[in-house]
Amino acid sequence: MGLTLIEKILANHSDKKVVKPGEIIDIGIDVRVARDFGGANVVKNLVNNGLEVDDISKTFFTFDCNPTGSDQKYAANQQYCRMFAREKGIKIYDVNSGIGTHLVIDKGLALPGSTVISTDSHANILGAIGAFGQGMGDQDIAAAWASGKSWFKVPKSVKLSLKGKRPENIYAKDIVLNLLYEFGANKLLGCSVELYGEDVEKLTLDERITVSSMATEMGAIIILIPPSDKIISYCEERSGKKIEKIEADKDAVYHKEFELDFSKFIPMVSRPGHPDDSVDINEVLKIKIDSAFIGSCTNGRIEDMREAAKILKDRKVAPGVVLKIVPATDEIWNQCLEEGLIEIFKKSGALVGNAGCAGCAAGQIGQNGPGEITISTGNRNFAGKQGKGKVYLGSPTEVAASAVAGYITTPDRIPEKPAEFKVTREFEKPVVSQKEIIVEKPIVIEGKVWLIDKDDIDTDMIFHNRYLTITDINEMGQYTFDNLEGWQDFAKKAEAGDIIITAKNFGAGSSRQQAVDCFKSLGVQTILAESFGAIYERNAINAAFPILTYKDISRLGLKQRDKIRVGFKKGILTNLENNKSVETDKFSNVQLEIYMKGGLLK
């Protein structure tokens, strides 16, 4: 009884000549990768358990989820991994390199028949060259880094044959979306799929990558495409090694075998929420879009870029539509530059990002907002995966054509004039039938005091820039002072009605309104300081948030959490614990007027 392709690869990396489905074996791992997503936890698992790296020549970091380091947590994780790599001599493909699963192919690290693991769930993209790739968790990767091996349950094998000729208008993304339509997200669950057919043999490396990259979305362990002579030659050239072709045995036994008519495949798009909810593109034709994304590990190769450029050449992205394009690797990015594709993209109005996962990971360039409709070449469109909007999945040609049209369409149906956005009148102030109730503002207030005796408390200490995307005032309070040394827990301790007294130059720094509104969110009544930053003072006054300056309050004998009284109009500050009072500056006429009416815009 012969072996399937997956069984042969796993057997070759174990101490067994024959392996069977369901059997748990230890396999040697040829390439061991941790990316910026999960990489720091891999290192912590090693360090905390006193483990060393087995073989640094087979061990790599790839930073591709957030290659700009624009998120502080990603930046911290990346730097932590860099320091570990320097200490141990581990190779890093840093933020300027691109997607890790592509790099292990293009850099010749992985070969047909080899084994690869990564913290990337799409490591099964290695099926494109007939290699075994598997995404694993942080502990799994750490164990493999330390031992060079990993236990694995031999999966059932499925043989899938595509018979007949591939239609001319069917791209690699259409192939995998047709497969998703046929098998859904779970009919191949836990299986290793081998893909065969006369026209499958003709698939380019880039096309194979697209098909294999979405095995995860089908629930499969991997989609293995037996390497053609061209694939073998490419891998030999990249690795500098002679490669023996690996194939399933003629008498291999499969769990199931399927045949599909390749000639009946149609252009397809996945509807928002589920990659397997793939439909004939005609069912979603002319749905208006806000944005489009071309890239990801599924469609960020040079052939994808060329197809997009054919559509975008001498055309413009529709008014109001945002098109983002991100090549998968830096090598592909530079190839786009050399071939003039970058110029075509930029002239069309597209935003071109540096190589990486980009829109798919929602960590670099491609998040969408609530209500936004996006068409993307990514592999996933789960709710929240690429932002708060809705995401359709399609091929690069369909995405490029849709970006030009302003709605979902195909290259042969791009209109002469793009669709325009209709005026919705969502932003007109609602008609109020009754007069607004004006609440009288107190001129004298009482509350418990927080004494923060620090000069130059800037707006990053008050409300850090990592929270600047928050627009709902109700969410702001929890982050107040969480970057101020010694006061990081202020938001948890503060009570509605509290008063803050601080020192010189409070609110120095940026113009962010949140540094005022966070106190309103917490219910802080007022802030007194020896002086305020100029912009902060204006922001507070315009927001009807009471602030006052004082010259000397030493005679008040204030202690933390004393109850005090503040008079805005007369400028009197009283410690109610001992009834001692001092004068403060008073509200100016302008400040009083804005305060009483509830804000500058009221």
Would you call 152 helix, strand, or coil by DSSP? strand
Please give the pLDDT value at position 359: 67
- Rounded distance, CA 257 to CA 202, Å? 21
Please give the pLDDT value at position 569: 95
Domain spans of the chain, in order of start? 5-264, 277-413, 444-597
What is the mean pLDDT of the segment spanning 444-463? 95
Q: At what angle do helices 302-312 and 205-213 cross, to 10 degrees?
A: 100
Rounded to 5°, angle at Cα 325 from 322 and 327: 170
Please give the pLDDT value at position 432: 57
Q: Is the CB of residue 520 less than 8 Å from the CB of residue 543?
A: yes
Q: For the domain bounded by 5-264, which CATH number is listed?
A: 3.30.499.10
- Rounded distance, CA 229 to CA 47, Å? 43
Q: How do beta strands 59-62 and 91-93 pair? A: parallel
What is the mean pLDDT of the segment spanning 366-395? 87
- Rounded distance, CA 278 to CA 174, Å? 10
Q: Is the CB of residue 267 less than 8 Å from the CB of residue 20?
A: no
Q: Which of 523, 541, 533 is nearest to 592 (CA)?
A: 541
Which of 503 and 469 is assigned the larger pLDDT?
503
Please give the pLDDT value at position 291: 96
Per-residue tokens: 109? 């690290």
Using pLDDT thresholds of 50, 70 and 90, give the confidence band for residue 364.
Answer: low
Q: Which of 155, 88, 167 is nearest to 127 (CA)?
A: 155
Please give the pLDDT value at position 366: 64
For the chain, what is the mean pLDDT? 93
> Which residue, chain included where needed, has tokens 């503060």?
494
What is the mean pLDDT of the segment spanning 460-474? 88
Would you call 359 helix, strand, or coil by DSSP? helix
Please give the share of the chain, as a percent, with pLDDT higher than 90: 81
Would you call 121 helix, strand, or coil by DSSP? coil
In angstroms, what is the C-alpha Rg of the chain?
30
Residue 434 has pLDDT above 60, yes or no: no
Residue 500 has pLDDT above 70, yes or no: yes
What is the mean pLDDT of the segment spanning 207-215? 95
Q: Is the CB of residue 65 less than 8 Å from the CB of residue 77?
A: no
Residue 365 has pLDDT above 90, yes or no: no
Residue 360 has pLDDT above 80, yes or no: no
What is the mean pLDDT of the segment spanning 536-563? 96
Q: In what order do the strands lie in the sheet with 373-376?
A: 278-280, 268-270, 390-393, 373-376, 291-294, 322-325, 351-352
Tell me the residue length of the chain: 602
Residue ranges of E strands in 284-440? 291-294, 322-325, 351-352, 373-376, 390-393
Please give the pLDDT value at position 522: 97
- Rounded distance, CA 481 to CA 514, Å? 12
Please give the pLDDT value at position 375: 96
Per-residue tokens: 589? 């006429």
- Rounded distance, CA 557 to CA 551, Å? 15
Q: HSE, CB side, 13 Å, CA atoms: give it for residue 452.
A: 25
Residue 11 has pLDDT above 80, yes or no: yes
> Which residue, chain included where needed, has tokens 């059997």?
23
- Domains 5-264 and 277-413 fall in the same CATH topology: yes
By mean pLDDT, which of 113-117, 152-156, 272-276, 565-569 is the weakest?
Answer: 272-276
Residue 430 has pLDDT above 80, yes or no: no
Domain 444-597 has CATH 3.20.19.10: yes
Which conformational region is residue 401 in: left (phi greater than 0), alpha (psi within -120 to 50 degrees), or beta? alpha
Number of helical H runs and strand E runs in the chain: 19, 25
pLDDT digits (tens, 9 = 90+) for 61-74: 999 887 776 777 88
Give the residues across from 448 on adjacent strands: 563
Would you call 232 helix, strand, or coil by DSSP? helix
Per-residue tokens: 45? 């698992």
Using pLDDT thresholds of 50, 70 and 90, give the confidence band for residue 38.
Answer: confident
What is the mean pLDDT of the segment spanning 91-116? 96
> Which residue, chain included where needed, has tokens 């999966």?
155
pLDDT digits (tens, 9 = 90+) for 501-546: 999 999 998 888 999 999 999 999 999 999 999 899 999 999 999 9
Please give the pLDDT value at position 435: 52
pLDDT digits (tens, 9 = 90+) for 80-92: 999 999 999 999 9
Q: Which of 596, 568, 597 is nearest to 584 (CA)?
A: 568
- Rounded distance, CA 260 to CA 265, Å? 9
Burial class (CB in 10 A: 0-12, 13-18, 19+), 258: middle
Q: Which CATH superfamily is domain 277-413 in?
A: Aconitase, domain 3 (3.30.499.10)
